[in-house]
Structure 1
Amino acid sequence: MGLHAHFISSGPFCVEDADGGGYTLLGPLSGLVLPALRLLPAPGADVLVRQIEVIGPPGLPADRLAALREVWRGVEGRVITEAVTVGAARPVRLAPPAGGTDLPLLLLVHHHGTDTAGGQVAHTTEVTTTLHLHRAAPAVEGEPEPHARSGTWYDPSQWTLSPGGSVSAASAGDGGVSGPRPSAPGPRTGARAGGAPVRRVADDRQRHRGFAAVDFGTTNSTVTIHDMRQLDVRAMSRYQEARLRRELVDLLGDPSVPGAQRGQWRELLGDVVRQLLPEADEGGARRDEPGAVLAGALEGGHGGGGWLHALYTALELRLAARDERLRGAVAPLLHACFDRAFDELPLDVLRLFPADLDQSGGTELASRVEVVQTRPELRVRMGEERVAVGGAADGAPRAYRGLKQYLGRDLALPDLPARADGTPTTADDLIREGLRYLLDQGDEFISMNPREFHQGRIDHLVMTYPTIAPPVVRRRLRQLVGQGARGVDGLGVTLVDTQFDEAVAAALFFIMRDFGGDFAAGVEAFRARCRRLPGSGRSWEQNVLVIDVGGGTTDLALINLKLKDNTPDPGPGQDPRFTGRLYVLTPTLLGSTGHLQLGGDLMTLRLFHWYKAVFADHLLTRWPDRHERVVATLKTPYATDGQYVPGSLLARDSEAEGYPHDLVDLVVPTRWDELPPSRVREVEQTFWLLWRLAEDAKIRLGAGTEDHRPPPEALEALLTSLGVPEAGGAGWAPQLDAARFEQLMAPVLDEITDLVVALVENGLQGGDRELDRIFLSGKSSRMPLIRRALERRLRREPGVRWNSAGIAVEEQYGKLATSIGACWGHHVRRFAHDEGNAQGVLGRGRYVLRIEVDNLRYYLPCDFGATFQLGSAATPTYALLKAGDPLSPIGPGGTWAIRSKWEKQPRSLRVHRGTGTGWVEWGAFDPDDWISRREPGFLLDLEEWTKQARFQVEVDADLSLHLHLVRGEPQYELRDEPPARVDLDAGVGPDGQWTPLEIVVDTRVAGDRPDKGTVVFSVAEDPRVAGADDRVGPGGWFDLLFREAGGAGARLLRGRMSEPLPPPPHDGWSFYVRYPTQPERALELVDVLPAPRRADEGRDAAARKERRDDGVEHQEGTEYVATLDERGGLRVHRTPVPYRAAGSVAEMWDHEGAVFRVGMNDAAAAHIAERDPFNGRH
């Protein structure tokens, strides 16, 4: 009997948390409005609510608990036949519990069905929530109570919360109370003043009808906007048309083309001028150079796109009628123009628009965050500096780089004023404001192009994040952009999607590039680059590796792309030659990995240390007397007999043990983290001069320059900041050649290629699998040495089969690839054709490509392993879950997840994510810590805990971790009476011996040829057991314990669970009993069992991504199993069969077999201070 229940907000004074875990209550403590209760019965079911029971935390005063119990009791005794909302009967007087402001509640809804023929089977639905009272004002004396004889009580609509945090009366009517009442400060939440949720776009403002994707990078950020406003039908994309114009201008304006055939070519162009530009021909303007006339018309935009089409058509037609020698000379050049034009991404056709983020029209904006205002609210701008990094002067705004690496770490920034509530401003606050700035720039870009875009402010956002970032980073990103959370303010964007990490988003970009804006041509070209799958005439595949090397991070994804021709047979009267084709592209994530501090900034940092050593070497060699203390302190091999050894600082790697970093910094001071404020600005200036010098060297040498010397002005500024006497540096400049540059970059490149090899070997292991294509994206990947290092490494790996001709580097959209790919992937998920509705399109001769983007989330992208001790030496010895393991919709509400096997529970548990070259801590659980904070009244014996407790890890598609805990063997909850029974006694023959039997499902139609069916249970020996022992006997056929619903006295039954059943037929599975040793004996029908519906079936099916077809719900990935208990009860379940649930560790421990589900503590993103360029320690 199903009854789903959950809380919902009851109005503006009851604000739901962003994560749905509780409600912030506003108004005086003497009259708080609690959330409403939403009840949804199962379809077709009538449910009688017998009792509403409320359980509060220990120590809650009895009168307060009694008041809470009265709130929702108005529904008691009612028969619920459809969804109903039970509002709080009246405001409630509450007081914060001792030691906090949060009040957790457990609501028990006791109910049963109205059909009493089979007895009244009682059920209980549990609902939990937490009431946050930190924003409630003190109780108002004299305020009418609910039991007041006047018949009036407090009306919360009379009260508002002022920006200053005080509560005041909105109007003074009958029963009203006037006067301001201060509100106690508390942690900040996503609720704004007045109690309504934060909204970036107010109800009275216009929302943009599309969406945007944001890639907030360590070094640069981008925004791509998707807008479905229709374009006029054009022969070419505007991007392609502009490129073709530029290519034809170069071709037609080149007087050396086509060499010996120049005369014929000039004559041909003259004919084209007379045809398309008669006014120019009549005027005789530059008749001797018709190519220049045509090039000038192209540059001036003459005639628009139609004239361009007429021009290249005329060139093609007239060239075909000319001498073969002219055709042979010019046709390849002309076709090369077309090739380069069609290589241009048709982003306008795909309705994808990289936003201009600065006044110069640049689509990439430096992720440098400059604080421009701290009061009354924090505000920033992004981009290259207008004030010096670190502040222009005392009290001037400050600027910050590399903030992305601090996301989710709650890093306090003491140099900025505290928040309004007194808590310190953090790096997350600056990131939020940086995102606000990006969205505001996106809004401005939209408003400046009214003919291109639907107007309005962005309120639908896709956010990307580093592949290896732990769940806390993704969650914090959603909070910062969305509705916020406790202690975290949000921007109030209504729809926030974090489906794609940066590696997957970059992979989607390359998939999009392959298909372009013309699916008919793109799909055929893609198919030509694939391998046909063995045994299949209509399926092809390729394996693709995407390497995104950005400014701060490196992200990798290995993806298998399967293309299948699913074109249905032509219908009556349809000619297959003129119908379209239906292709389905299924991307499968074989694995992903990365590093949060491995990218262009780390390369620059290595050059920074080299240049710092070069300048220190120069100063110690040229002016040793100015640094006598340093020279006297240096040890061998850096000094001999009290004299500095020239070149010794450069002869050793700065990361080598014993390198004198402290002494080098005395000569070239660039560390400011421990300096007094009076010296910080001077040292910061030196740091940034040296950093820019190193960055410039990386860009130039990375592009292939043989050697590099700093520009004289940059060198002079740096030497001046180091106090070098005027003209003391004349004639000297550090020189860095390509060989030394590559040597300095080698450790970074080795780390990147180590990740590549580990990912490919793990993802393509088994069978004859080959890496077909490698795509490099990200600004840092443009450096040729990255490609060379990758090719060298792959050639040395005998276990990796790869296509050396399949490497491609994205030059034009290196940084934009991530936001463009995420934007396109989100569009495909929301608007792509379904196979079922493609028939009409195919009949019109069109190609249809369905890209199953969601499939990227259906497989685990990495290994997860557990460690059972603390310390740096503790690393997993084996994987609990492996990369490539399939997920299924087994989590709460049908979320996609996977569970490990049960393991022994240690004193402290740490779960790590595999990176291929190591392990990164991902989640933690310490039972004693949990007990002390959440269940202080429970005494835990850790010795017994390690002997009896077991754990199971659950990982969802977001890679968030939950833990299942149990004492002993887990028990499974059977919530309904069995719809069918198997007579196990029938297996006993006349001689008293057991006759082996099988329970099978058989979907044949009457009169069809016999089929063996699928064996669900094979019972070779007598499974019946005697005795009343509740434990599962070792070696017994029934190997599980089931618990029938019915409260504390529920009965335990032995049972067994099948492997997944075949897909459900229309009316359900037909179960038969078959006797394999008696083939002549007829099959005996047990019953026909339909596919069970979901436990949350009262919710909208569309919200669960299910579809209803002839009354049966389907969800991709759903599996079904059968259970058989010792009394012969046969049931079918959607997986997973629910565990017997415990509400706490104490309940789990007291009730053997009950399972407690708890979220693991988030692990902070790994942060290596030595790789953080901007922490003031370099």
Structure 2
Amino acid sequence: MTAPTTDRARQTLLPPVAADDRRQRLKYLALDLGTWSSTASLYESSHLDVVALDPAHEAALREVLLELLEDPALAPHQQDLLKEVAAVYGPTRSHRFTALTEIRQALRRIGDQWNGVPDRDYLDLRRAVAIAVDRCAAGQAALAVTVHRAYDRVFAVPALHAHRLWQVGLRDGYRQPEIRSILAVAVADIKASHLVDVAVSDADRPAGIVYHPGIKRRLLRPDPVRGLGPAAVPDGWPADTDLLIAQSYADLIKRVRAAVAHAGQPRTLLAGLQVPADSEIDEVTVTYPTTLPPSARARLRRTVSDGTGIAVERVHMDYDEAVASALYFVVRGFGGDVEAGLRSFRAGARPVEQALLPTWRRNALVLDIGGGTTDIALLALDLVATRPGGTAADGPRGRHYTLTPRVLGTTGHPQLGGDLLTLRVFYWLKAAVVDAIDAGHAPAARDADDRTLTERLLASGHPKPVTDDVRRILRERLPSHSATPGVRTAAFDRLWEAAEDAKINYLSQGKGYRIEQTFADSLPSDCTWRDAVRALPDGAVVLAPEDFDRMIRPVVGVAAGLAASLVRRTLGRQPGEQLDLVALSGRTTTMPAVHGLIRTRMTEQFLRHDRDGAGPIPWDPQGMLVEHAYAKQTASLGACWARSVKGLSGVDDQRLEAGLDQLEISVHNLLACLPSDFGLAGDHDRVPPLLHQGTVLDKATRRGVLASPPGNLFACTDWKRLNSDDLHLHRILGPELTVQWGAYQYSRHRPGPLPAGLWYRIAVDQELNAWISFCRGTRDAVRPALHPLNGTDLDAGEHLDLLQISRLGEHFDRDGDLLTLPDIEVAAVEEGEDEPEYVTVFRTGTAEQRLSVDLATETSSGTAYAATRPLAASRLPAAVSTSALPVTRTGTLRPAAFVFRARIPGADPVPLGRIRPPQFRDGDYLLPDVPFWAVLDQHGRLRVNAGYPEFLETDSLVRMESEPGWVYTTAMPDSSTDWDPTWDPTTGDH
């Protein structure tokens, strides 16, 4: 783990909101600090202007109607349409319309005057035109199809306001939802620094300002920032990139406050929202890259808190960028109408045959390629009809549905994004310039195969920016790197600007890009190759769009390959599963060449058979959804929406009785299983998985609270003998791609050789934090000790006594100790349930084989919780169930009772009895998702434990080493950056 940048308390960059401040608080705000640009999204429902259509639908409908009025198919119906418009719009207002062109002009003119708030004249005209077009199309089949397709386009536009979601205007009069992530750093006072949309040239740059683009790249670890004066750095902060990140978030908060202060004003993004101008922000949700390790995530959370003045516990980081973007597509799919959204979902979903209630499922893959990272999520969306509709006798009654998104897997790449494409174009441009300079001269830059630099660069199939040999030549011939690390030269800036212009405005649009004389004139006077470029004739340097496809293919191929690999290893071995939706977000994916390559690569991957049994993946390539309207905002919108529905539940009986359906969305258990494989790095950089994607997170602390590590639901490995002093846990992102997730070096904490008989196990919790536990055993085995089951946290210790069951007598010796275990099964039952479903939780075997832990009974000072000295009483061999106890048929974790029985070969099952789930003392809070586990001791006593039975924990490595059975648990912080500087355009070394 990267240590906090300072041990001193850091002065907040913005003043905190006082607890007694009575100003209205904004409900939910989400910030997405991107590598290229940043956005903010707001959920607010307290004061809304009521409109017939979502404003986004209104704008789309106007454009569609304008197109239809120009359609030649409507020309023969001009007189009929004019009459219909007059009938609806009113003769006094429509007398001036004598042709369709006049209606178009009026609709456009009045619509242009519309400020985002209800305007009766515009709404009446729009309604009149829509009704007239519908009536004219009623008897014309071809025209009707055209009209229906046009309306489909309208309602494909996300209806944000219907879900109380708002884009926040961050610039240009609060009308633009994005601001470039370029921090203009005031070297004399960091608090005066702010985000800017354009980094102006050196000649125009204000004195004392230094531009830092893409500061998000420094989330992984803080780097020093040169040039900041002592007075510029607030108390407690070092002069590093964490300070710049904190100031970036502080500036975003200031921009949000300014936008909210102008809410309700015409032509702003918050024009339809009425909130007090001085509304305050004391809570925020922050998205982060999917591949960001836990320690960097924790550091970011504190940095946001110290930058914005928002208490750290109110800085929420529940959703990474992949999951947040996926949740945006969930809300997008339901549009602005619940009934229509439910019908649409069911039409594109598959019934789940084994479900107890009517259930429909869609598997959705979301691939987000941003400016600096690629983030990918695969979700299962289950729609359950939890309350049926009315019968004919009852009359109409709506259904109550619950939609539950579940994360099946996530992956990504920490450095693969739009800036990598620009960096490749940057080197392509340099290669083309050198080739043009060499034309007609000795081909000094050609290789043994007589290939130019451009040909060699385009032929590379690796996603890195440039091959080493070409980079070396370009560095000599067209130097643009800096002698000072982290400082970019003016020559680099001019080349970078040209590369971005070429990528965005020409090559991605299918047009060639050529260097003009103005480019040479813009180069700094000290550029050693400026005159050589000036001497080139116009048209000497041309980048062709067909070569752009070759240039981006390695990068896009990696992103598409990661997504396809995630789908194949998740769905490929599950019969009947298919991929129902593929959605792309991020501005990079809006390029036709990019989403075309993604479609092609995925089709190739999904058609093949794997040796491990994974078959083809059914999907519809033509149904792939590319988000254009909110390509950059998907993460902040999705996170904001999820935060808003997290606390909502319940049934609206009035709505159901009116015959209307109700949709409830549950995002509480988004991450119910591991989203990827985790493994320890081994020889030759191999990372065999220890924990597998899809492993259910079914363990928790026995009290069901978040205080003790691993703290919440988690998955863990078996106990393994420690043979290496240095352990490096990696998250496996795809074939041959991992990122270090945690590390632990034993000798750093206990110098000297490893003690004999030391064992370890690794756990990953629901927030993907990594933990490691150590226990002293023997060379061949380890017997960790459990806390006493009669600890002070439980009200009662109900148990079943297997020794008292005569049919199990042969499993005990004369002293009443277990010799062997039968198969023991359990069912979770509701009140009055007669035919439960049983699962096996203890397997048959000898007691020596199966009783693999020790149950501490007491200590010299009472209970083990208060133990300060070694255990004085005996430890009882015991076993923990092989898995968490099952849920009820309806999915309830806390049943009325658990019913146990034993299986004996050749005989009927042996009833063992019922145990009610443990009840906690007053004041203890049991989380609703804490699973139950069973514990069986050597005397045949069978108990149920809330949460995974806790070990006898010590915070001392010395005690753990000296007293076998005690367990020492600690976090596994990451110690590596996994960062390739040659992929980073801001290093000054390009």
* TM-score with structure 1 setting the length: 0.71
Q: C-alpha displacement at 1:239, in angstroms?
A: 2.2
2:381 corresponds to which of 552, 561, 577: 561
Which residue number in structure 1 is paired with residue 612 of structure 2?
none
Q: Does the aligned pair in 2 maintain the 1:479–1:490 contact within 8 Å?
A: no
Q: Secondary structure at the match of 1:699?
A: helix
Tell me whether 1:1131 sits opposite 2:946 in the alignment. Answer: no
Give deviations 1:1007-1047, integer Å, cap 9, x for gaps. Answer: 998999777668788x6xxxxxxxxxx44x54432111223
Which residue number in structure 1 is paired with residue 766 of structure 2?
957
Q: C-alpha displacement at 1:446, in angstroms?
A: 0.5
Which residue number in structure 2 is paired with residue 351 of structure 1?
164
Distance in 2 (alpha carbons) for counterparts of 1:955 and 1:442? 36
Residues 369 and 1040 of structure 1, relative CA distance in 2, 3 Å threshold: same
Residues 810 and 530 of structure 1, relative CA distance in 2, 3 Å threshold: same
Q: C-alpha displacement at 1:795, in angstroms?
A: 3.2
Which residue number in structure 2 is paired with residue 401 of structure 1?
213
Distance in 1 (alpha carbons) for counterparts of 2:367 and 2:209? 37
Q: C-alpha displacement at 1:398, in angstroms?
A: 0.3
Distance in 2 (alpha carbons) for counterparts of 1:453 and 1:535? 48
Find the structure with the greater CA-based Rg: 1
Which residue number in structure 2 is paired with residue 504 of structure 1?
323
Distance in 2 (alpha carbons) for counterparts of 1:875 and 1:1072? 44
Aligned pairs for 1:726-805 (under 5 A) are 728-768=535-575, 769-797=577-605, 798-799=608-609, 800-801=616-617, 802-805=619-622
Give deviations 1:196-226, integer Å, cap 9, x for gaps. Answer: x972566436253312111111111111111
Distance in 2 (alpha carbons) for counterparts of 1:1008 and 1:758? 43
Q: Does the aligned pair in 1 maintain the 2:520–2:533 contact within 8 Å?
A: no
Distance in 1 (alpha carbons) for counterparts of 2:26 and 2:811? 75
Distance in 2 (alpha carbons) for counterparts of 1:888 and 1:1045? 28
Distance in 2 (alpha carbons) for counterparts of 1:281 and 1:374? 63
Distance in 1 (alpha carbons) for counterparts of 2:208 and 2:457? 40
2:918 corresponds to which of 1072, 1087, 1092: 1092
Distance in 1 (alpha carbons) for counterparts of 2:715 and 2:255? 41
Higher mean alpha-carbon deviation, 198-207 vs 1126-1135, is at 198-207
Which residue number in structure 2 is paired with residue 697 of structure 1?
502
**Cα-Cα RMSD:** 4.0
Residues 725 and 1122 of structure 1, relative CA distance in 2, 3 Å threshold: closer
Residues 962 and 658 of structure 1, relative CA distance in 2, 3 Å threshold: closer
Q: Does the aligned pair in 1 maintain the 2:490–2:523 contact within 8 Å?
A: no
Which residue number in structure 2 is paired with residue 362 of structure 1?
176
Q: C-alpha displacement at 1:822, in angstroms?
A: 1.1
Q: Does the aligned pair in 2 maintain the 1:1091–1:1132 contact within 8 Å?
A: yes
Q: Secondary structure at the match of 2:60?
A: helix
Q: C-alpha displacement at 1:1124, in angstroms?
A: 2.8
Q: C-alpha displacement at 1:649, in angstroms?
A: 6.3
Q: Secondary structure at the match of 1:924?
A: strand
Q: Does the aligned pair in 2 maintain the 1:237–1:348 contact within 8 Å?
A: yes
Distance in 2 (alpha carbons) for counterparts of 1:667 and 1:561? 55
Which residue number in structure 2 is paired with residue 885 of structure 1?
695
Q: Does the aligned pair in 1 maintain the 2:134–2:147 contact within 8 Å?
A: no
Q: C-alpha displacement at 1:535, in angstroms?
A: 5.2
Q: C-alpha displacement at 1:332, in angstroms?
A: 4.4
Aligned pairs for 1:160-171 (under 5 A) are none
Tell me whether 1:480 sits opposite 2:303 in the alignment. Answer: yes
Q: Secondary structure at the match of 1:434?
A: helix
Which residue number in structure 2 is paired with residue 591 of structure 1?
409
Which residue number in structure 2 is paired with residue 515 of structure 1?
334
Which residue number in structure 2 is paired with residue 98 of structure 1?
none
Distance in 1 (alpha carbons) for counterparts of 2:191 and 2:127? 58
In structure 2, stretches of 5+ residues that fail to align are 265-271, 610-615, 792-796, 861-870, 888-892
Which residue number in structure 1 is paired with residue 275 of structure 2?
454
Q: Secondary structure at the match of 1:857?
A: coil
Q: Does the aligned pair in 1 maintain the 2:517–2:538 contact within 8 Å?
A: no
Q: Secondary structure at the match of 1:1121?
A: strand
Q: C-alpha displacement at 1:992, in angstroms?
A: 9.6
Q: Secondary structure at the match of 1:565?
A: strand
Q: State the one-letter code of the partner of 2:594.
A: I
Q: Does the aligned pair in 1 maintain the 2:295–2:973 contact within 8 Å?
A: no
Q: State the one-letter code of the partner of 1:1049.
A: A
Distance in 1 (alpha carbons) for counterparts of 2:446 and 2:439? 16
Give deviations 1:1094-1140, integer Å, cap 9, x for gaps. Answer: 59x634x4xx6x4xxxxxxxx23x33233232334443212311111
2:787 corresponds to which of 973, 980, 984: 973
Q: C-alpha displacement at 1:561, in angstroms?
A: 1.8
Q: Does the aligned pair in 2 maintain the 1:966–1:1148 contact within 8 Å?
A: yes
Q: Secondary structure at the match of 2:493?
A: helix
Residues 387 and 539 of structure 1, relative CA distance in 2, 3 Å threshold: same
Residues 358 and 341 of structure 1, relative CA distance in 2, 3 Å threshold: same
Distance in 1 (alpha carbons) for counterparts of 2:662 and 2:101? 47
Tell me whether 1:542 sits opposite 2:362 in the alignment. Answer: yes
Residues 428 and 650 of structure 1, relative CA distance in 2, 3 Å threshold: same
Q: State the one-letter code of the partner of 1:457.
A: E
Q: State the one-letter code of the partner of 2:712.
A: T
Q: C-alpha displacement at 1:781, in angstroms?
A: 0.5
Distance in 1 (alpha carbons) for counterparts of 2:429 and 2:660? 60
Q: C-alpha displacement at 1:849, in angstroms?
A: 1.5
Q: Does the aligned pair in 2 maintain the 1:403–1:431 contact within 8 Å?
A: yes
Distance in 1 (alpha carbons) for counterparts of 2:453 and 2:829? 85
Which residue number in structure 1 is paired with residue 933 of structure 2?
1121
Which residue number in structure 1 is paired with residue 971 of structure 2?
1159
Aligned pairs for 1:270-289 (under 5 A) are 270=83, 272-273=85-86, 276-280=89-93
Relative contact order higher in (CA < 8 Å, ≥ 6 apart): 2
Q: Does the aligned pair in 1 maintain the 2:453–2:470 contact within 8 Å?
A: no
Give deviations 1:547-576, integer Å, cap 9, x for gaps. Answer: 1011111111111222222224659xx955
1:206 corresponds to which of 23, 40, 49: 23
Q: Does the aligned pair in 2 maintain the 1:198–1:483 contact within 8 Å?
A: no
Q: C-alpha displacement at 1:908, in angstroms?
A: 1.2
Distance in 1 (alpha carbons) for counterparts of 2:388 and 2:439? 80
Which residue number in structure 1 is paired with residue 738 of structure 2?
919
Which residue number in structure 2 is paired with residue 603 of structure 1?
421
Q: Secondary structure at the match of 1:561?
A: strand
Distance in 2 (alpha carbons) for counterparts of 1:401 and 1:363? 18
Q: State the one-letter code of the partner of 1:213.
A: A
Distance in 1 (alpha carbons) for counterparts of 2:482 and 2:734? 36
Q: C-alpha displacement at 1:473, in angstroms?
A: 2.4
Which residue number in structure 1 is paired with residue 613 of structure 2?
none
Q: State the one-letter code of the partner of 1:506.
A: S
Distance in 2 (alpha carbons) for counterparts of 1:285 and 1:990? 96
Which residue number in structure 2 is paired with residue 811 of structure 1?
628
Residues 999 and 784 of structure 1, relative CA distance in 2, 3 Å threshold: closer
Residues 507 and 744 of structure 1, relative CA distance in 2, 3 Å threshold: same
Distance in 2 (alpha carbons) for counterparts of 1:533 and 1:409? 45
Which residue number in structure 1 is paired with residue 48 of structure 2?
231
* TM-score with structure 2 setting the length: 0.83
1:854 corresponds to which of 655, 659, 668: 668
Distance in 1 (alpha carbons) for counterparts of 2:93 and 2:835? 85
Q: State the one-letter code of the partner of 1:520.
A: E
Distance in 2 (alpha carbons) for counterparts of 1:685 and 1:693? 12
Q: Does the aligned pair in 2 maintain the 1:266–1:289 contact within 8 Å?
A: no
Which residue number in structure 2 is paired with residue 339 of structure 1?
152
Q: State the one-letter code of the partner of 1:240.
A: H
Residues 510 and 668 of structure 1, relative CA distance in 2, 3 Å threshold: same
Q: Secondary structure at the match of 1:441?
A: helix
Q: C-alpha displacement at 1:898, in angstroms?
A: 1.3
2:655 corresponds to which of 841, 864, 868: 841
